Amino acid sequence: MLNRDTLGALIFLAFFTAYAVFAWQIPLLPFEEMDAVNSASIPKVYAVLGLMFSLLALLAQAIKRQHSSGEGWPQINLRSIGQTAVLLLLMWVYTALLEPIGFLLATSVFLSAGFFIMGERRWRVLLLASVPVAVVFWLIMTKLLGIYLVPGELWS
């Protein structure tokens, strides 16, 4: 079975291969073509180094595997994976809604939804730990420090 060291090396091998392809396509300006170091030189060096290290890591895994099965996978339960995935999605939704509905509403919803995802079910805690935080932060930023926070494009 694929161990996590091999998988990591394969991911990086794929990334550095793609990076190398794009590095070799960097367009050079006419005056750069004779330069010893141009816009593409350093990315090309990084691409080669990255490929070299990821191939070495794969080679090391191949040698290691003759003696052991490599580093195992961490124990993670499905509930934690689900919670993390939903939190990532919540962050994405918060970012998407921040400017349209404004800081105060978006933050209050983001925090209370986050507390709910993390297992908090007491509605009083959900409200008290989210709305006051958003309001106090908004007051500090806008009134005290004079930093503009978007009020919401939909209603301004």
Partner 1 sequence: MLDGILLGLSTALQWQNLLYVIAGCFVGTFIGMLPGLGPITAIALMIPITYSIDPSSGMILMAGVYYGAIFGGSTSSILINAPGVAGTVASSFDGYPLAKQGMAGKALAIAAWASFTGGTIGALLLMLAAPTLAKVSLSFQSADYVALMCLGLTAIAAFSNKGTFLKAMMMTVFGLTLSTVGIDPSSGTERFTFGNTDLLDGISFLLIAMSTFALAEALSNVLKPEVKQGNSEQPMQIGSIRLSKAEVKEISPTIGRSSLLGFIIGVLPGAGATIASFMAYAAERNLAPKAVQEKFGKGALRGLAAPESANNAACTGSFVPLLTLGIPGSGTTAIMLGALIAYGIQPGPMLMQDNPDVFWAVIISMYLGNIVLLILNLPLIPYLARVLIMPKAILTMMILFFSLIGVYLVSFNTFDLFMMIGFALIALVLRLLAFPMAPLLLGFILGDMIESNVRRAMMTSDGSLSIFWDKPLTLGIMLLAIIVLAMPLLSFLRLRKAAV
In the complex, least distance from residue 138 CB atom to partner 1, rounded to whole angstroms:
10
Q: How many residues of this chain bind partner 1 (CB under 8 A)?
A: 68
CA 60, CA 66: separation in Å to the nearest integer?
A: 10
For tokens 């191949």, name the residue: 62
Question: For 118, which DSSP code?
Answer: T
Among 81, 136, 139, 154, binds partner 1 (CB under 8 A): 81
Binding status of residue 127 toward partner 1 by CB under 8 A: no
Among 14, 17, 21, 39, binds partner 1 (CB under 8 A): 39
CA 83, CA 93: separation in Å to the nearest integer?
A: 15
Binding status of residue 36 toward partner 1 by CB under 8 A: yes
CA 5, CA 22: separation in Å to the nearest integer?
A: 26
Residues 40-79 that bind partner 1 (CB under 8 A): 40, 42-43, 46-47, 49-50, 53-54, 56-57, 60, 63-64, 67, 71, 74-76
DSSP result, 27-53: PPPGGGTT-SS-TTHHHHHHHHHHHHH
Which residue, 80 or 154, is less far from partner 1 as judged by CB? 80
CA distances from 14 to 9, 52, 61 (A): 9, 12, 17
Which residue, 63 or 155, is less far from partner 1 as judged by CB? 63
Binding status of residue 135 toward partner 1 by CB under 8 A: no
In the complex, least distance from residue 46 CB atom to partner 1, rounded to whole angstroms:
5
For tokens 């939903």, name the residue: 86
In the complex, least distance from residue 134 CB atom to partner 1, rounded to whole angstroms:
9
